Amino acid sequence: MYHNILVPISFDSERDVSGPLKLAQMLSTPEAQITLLHVVEHIPAYAISYMPADYLAEARAAIQGELDALANTIPNGRGLVIEGHSGRSILDWAEVNKPDLIIIASHRPGMQDLLLGSTATQIVRHASCAVHVVR
């Protein structure tokens, strides 16, 4: 049983977050902290000038609202939004906050993943704690 679980959440349309959330509840102790983490990728400087001034703040607030709603469905859940590159930012957060388990969803890999890698692959290879990949 785990006491501090990190569940990175992607809101891509083909991702189903129910599997990782159920698994986190099954593998957690009754008092475990379960953190749902979403990483907002940086928008390139050339593109940000074409967006409304309050776009980033509104997008972040909307994502935080969705994470909070998900976190409220599990005991001791909390939602957190950070910025950066998804794989590196998840690993950096884990290094500071020391979860004893990361539960990450993965899609079926395609040719682009063999050439570029995926977030789940990066987490599995570089995390200093246990990682459980859910398909």
pLDDT tens track for 18-69: 999 999 999 999 999 999 999 999 888 888 888 888 988 999 999 999 999 9
**Number of domains observed in the structure of the chain:** 1
pLDDT digit string, tens, across residues 103-120: 998 876 665 555 445 899
What is 85-116 written as a DSSP string? -HHHHHHHHHHHH--SEEEEE-PPP-HHHHHH
Predicted confidence (pLDDT) at residue 95 exceeds the cutoff of 90: yes
Check which CATH number belongs to the domain holding 56 and give it: 3.40.50.620
Burial class, 125, CB count within 10 angstroms (exposed 0-12 / middle 13-18 / buried 19+): exposed
Q: Which domain holds residue 111?
A: 2-134
- Write down the pTM of the prediction: 0.90
